[in-house]
Amino acid sequence: MTTTPDSVLRPLRIGPVQLRTNLVLSPMSGVTDSAFRRTVQQASEDAVGLLVSEFIAVEGLTRANAKTTAMMRFDATERPISIQIFGADVERMAAAARMVEEAGADIVDINCGCPAPKVVRRGGGAQLMRTPDQLREILRAVRAAVSIPFTVKIRSGWDDSARNALDVARMVEDEGAAMLAVHGRTRVQLYSGLCDWDLIAELRRRASIPVIGSGDIVDPQTALSRLREGYADGLMIGRGAIANPWIFAQTRALARAQAVVAATPAERVQLLSFFRRALDEAKEERAYLGRLRGLGCCLVKGFAGGAAARRALGAARSADEVETVLRQFMLEGRRFDERFAEVA
């Protein structure tokens, strides 16, 4: 692979869908709704090549549950977009994939990695890696149901004694998936221990479809080195994008041998306001205040006095108060003491 500036950060094709870059926002339940995806886009612009929804239950979608159906909504600016579904029932998976296509998504993604007991107990998520025949049937039904490309996201396996990602990957590719994403941990590991990037690299070597690696891309330097060292065709970034929504743009800057510039205080204040407006526009009520506080807390990290500001943000009782605390801290030099009172 050549390493001219920017060359590792390249457009990627997922079937007929052209991605601007090979950096993908990871699907994250309770996080990557439309408001958050737009916020990441606002921060990183077209450096983020693909947005992926949080996982959506096919049981709810196919029973026309209003809240589940609302989770499929996306803004016209969110392109290209992949909607991830989870479940185990073959017919419902196919019907839900059709609904994703009808909703106008570019890609439908099948979740085979969720470790949550309530998901795996019902045969979905990571459990599908233990039931490859069931997974094959699902993939065939989905393939027959839609004309948009389908992709699959897996883990390295169930546990150390069942690290079967290589077998599952071959089957997924044979059944016509246009891309494979791999979180390099087993189901039993959850989010602990090391992410197995050597396995991701092995999957990439063997596959003829793009392999996207996921796990612990916490900063632009890590992102770039994973790409430069050829571990994957592209990267998914999850928690790193929660902590730093500018991470995609910063990775691109680094790939172009430009300086990585941290977001300014004013940009941080603006991004929080953008997120609030996006939540309002999407009429997103789930954990509204908690999510605003959460982004606020990420935005003050690393600043002197940030710990006390985080406590003040955590104690804010309204969206206005969250915005005010951040603005005062970032732009007016206000500092907060242990009891959240002004000290200077």
Ligand X SMILES: Cc1cc2nc3c(=O)[nH]c(=O)nc-3n(C[C@H](O)[C@H](O)[C@H](O)COP(=O)(O)O)c2cc1C
Which residues share a beta bridge with 84?
109
Sign of CA dihedral 91, 97, 101, 104: positive
CB of 210 to ligand X, least distance (A): 16
Q: Are 72 and 85 in contact (CB under 8 A)?
A: no
Chain residues in the site for ligand X (CB under 6 A): 26-31, 54-55, 84, 111, 113-114, 153, 183, 214-217, 236-240
Based on CB atoms, which residue is closest to ligand X, 215 or 296?
215
Looking at 112, 114, 195, 298, which residue is catalytic? Answer: 114
What crossing angle do the helices spanning 306-315 and 288-300 adopt, rounded to 10°? Answer: 170
Q: Are 13 and 19 in contact (CB under 8 A)?
A: yes
Q: Are 168 and 206 in contact (CB under 8 A)?
A: no
Distance (Å, rounded) from C-alpha 57 to C-alpha 33?
A: 14
Distance (Å, rounded) from C-alpha 44 to C-alpha 218?
A: 15
CB of 32 to ligand X, least distance (A): 8
Structure tokens at 114: 């969720």
Q: Are 214 and 241 in contact (CB under 8 A)?
A: no
CB of 113 to ligand X, least distance (A): 5
- State yes or no: is 114 an active-site residue: yes
CB of 324 to ligand X, least distance (A): 27
Looking at beta carbons, which residue is closest to ligand X? 238
- Residue 161 burial by CB count (10 A; 0-12/13-18/19+): exposed, middle or buried? exposed
CB of 288 to ligand X, least distance (A): 17
Distance (Å, rounded) from C-alpha 125 to C-alpha 190?
A: 12
Q: Which residues are catalytic?
A: 114
